Amino acid sequence: MACKPITRRTLLKTAASTVAFPYVITTSALGAAGKPPASERPVMGCIGMGGQGTAGMGWRSAGPEVPNTGWVPKGGFLARGVQVVAVCDVNKNNLQRAKFVVDQEYGNTDCTPYKHYQELLARQDIDTIICATGDRWHTPVSIAAAKAGKDIYCEKPVSLTIYEARELARVVRQYGRIFQMGTQQRSAREFRFACELVRNGYIGELKHVTVNVGGGPRVCNLPAQGQPPDSLDYDIWLGQAPWRPFHPQLLGWMAWRDYSGGEMTNWGAHHFDVAQWGTGFEDSGPVEIIPPDGKDFKVLTYRYPNGVVMTRNNTCNGVKFEGTKGWVEVNRGYLRTHPESLLRQKIGPNEIRLHISNDHHLDFLAAVRNRRRPASDADIGYRSISVCHLGNIAYWLKRPLRWDPDNEKFVNDPEADRMLWREMRSPYTI
């Protein structure tokens, strides 16, 4: 399968100019505060109704500390003025729970459950979807949704391979859809402010970035054991991954390479994304990736075209940017700088101002209404998840790699290029 370049530098710069000026969208501006009538709400279908999907929709498990209460409303899209009309999952238990909580929200039984996402996407009344499936389904579902004319909120990571993410960005663009990746750190003030400090030179010339995330997945060698639960359509659940006999540990799919990129693409989708944002390479990427060799390189190392070095290391809290005049370290609810006075720095109106969003779900809905670029669209998602995948490929090949971010391929390295995509099991292809 050929991987065609889809260089976006010029168009991304044009798109970025539309969000160069800060704006804040409030809940009341979208009409959510007063629960508008259904006729005025975006109509949404939700695909993938495990814990993450149900929480994104707007309900969370009450947990063992609140016995006998099951799932309770807490944020999500239901609290932000959408009308959920359909849910989809290949697990009957997840599907029944999702229908129950939607019907509880509206006090009726109108929510339609589907096992096949294609049936949900065929509905003409649905404008937007959440995709909260397992990683291997993010790209196929999102591409099908874009072709069906739906706007898409997709949980991270957006893909299982670099090729998939590239193709997703191309299709979303081709069909003119709004796409928001579920990297909510883009809608948190501490991350935006940290990146603005770096982008505006307040720590001097940027030299080094440290990203604290876990490692990649393991090759699965589990033997056959037992049968899939009666509630689960196992073949669809596997999706594009090679067919293999069931083992209960497969349901912890994030550990296995056939189904996930491991923590490199789980938390990496968040923290490497912030690193790309802060370095200003969100529409590009590194040019060299070096796995640890036990001698010169103790940790996974990336080099960028301007000489900035980024390492995957556990020596920081989240993401740390270091420059010639200071540093800034950021994580959820955490922000430190040196000098400390940078915490009080005001970013001027004529300086670099990054996309302002204080609520990732509302930012998506605002983008849908105004047809404007959201905080983390498919192109940003493609570039940031590529950094995660590049690191995994370097680990798997156990040697340095040179990457051409403009032509979106490795430099004179056919073996590495073959790892940009994986064969997808029919009929679960894109």
Q: Which of 63-67, 236-240, 346-350, 354-358 has the lowest mean pLDDT?
A: 63-67
Q: Please, what is the average pLDDT of the chain? A: 90
pLDDT for residue 354 is more than 50: yes
User: Does 69 score more than 50 pLDDT?
Assistant: no
Backbone φ, ψ for residue 6 (5° rounding): -135, 55
pLDDT digits (tens, 9 = 90+) for 71-90: 556 678 988 989 999 999 99
Q: What is the pLDDT of residue 322?
A: 98
Per-residue pLDDT at 231 exceeds 90: yes
pLDDT at position 61, please? 63
Mean pLDDT of 47-64: 80
Terminal CA-to-CA distance of the chain, rounded, Å? Answer: 12
* 288-290 and 301-303 strand pairing: antiparallel
pLDDT for position 73: 61
Structural domains in the chain, CATH included, are 9-186 (3.40.50.720)
**Is omega for the bond preceding 414 within 30 degrees of 0, making it cis?**
no
Tokens linked to 108 = 């009726």
Gap between the Cα atoms of 324 and 384, Å rounded: 25
pLDDT, mean of residues 379-389: 98
Confidence at residue 6, expressed as pLDDT on a 0 to 100 scale: 35
Provide φ and ψ at 142, rounded to 5°: -65, -40
Instruction: For residue 405, give every residue at least 6 positions away whose Cβ sits within 8 Å of its Cβ, in sequence order, or none.
Output: 281, 284, 285, 286, 287, 305
Q: Is the pLDDT of residue 17 over 80?
A: no
CB 225 within 8 A of CB 276: no
Instruction: Give the span between the Cα atoms of 156 and 384, in whole angstroms.
Output: 11
- pLDDT band of residue 58 (cuts 50, 70, 90) is confident
Percentage of residues in the chain having pLDDT higher than 90: 82
User: pLDDT per residue over 299-351, tens digit each?
Assistant: 999 999 999 999 999 999 999 999 999 999 999 999 999 999 999 999 999 99
- Statement: residue 378 has pLDDT above 90: yes
The answer to whether 269 and 384 have CB atoms below 8 angstroms apart is yes
pLDDT value, residue 191: 98
In this structure, what token pair is assigned to residue 133?
């499936």
Task: Please state, in angstroms and rounded to a whole number, the distance separating the CA atoms of residues 46 and 87.
Answer: 5
The phi, psi pair for 12, rounded to 5°, reads -65, -40
Q: What is the pLDDT confidence band of residue 386, given thresholds at 50, 70 and 90?
A: very high
pLDDT score at 75 = 75
Q: Return contacts of 392-395, CB within 8 angstroms, 24+ apart.
A: 392/216, 392/217, 392/261, 392/262, 392/264, 392/265, 393/289, 393/419, 394/289, 394/290, 394/291, 394/300, 395/215, 395/216, 395/291, 395/300
Write the burial class of residue 190 (CB in 10 Å: 0-12 exposed, 13-18 middle, 19+ buried): middle
What is the per-residue pLDDT across 99-135, written as a single tens digit (0 to 9) for each? 998 998 899 999 999 999 999 999 999 999 999 999 9
pLDDT over threshold 90, residue 267? yes
Which pLDDT score, from 0 to 100, does residue 177 have? 98
- CA pseudo-torsion sign 268, 273, 279, 284: positive
The sign of the torsion formed by the CA atoms of 421, 281, 191, 311 equals positive
Instruction: Look at residue 11 and tell me whether its pLDDT is greater than 90.
Output: no
- pLDDT-derived band at 62, boundaries 50, 70, 90: low
Helices (H) and strands (E) in the chain, counts: 13, 17
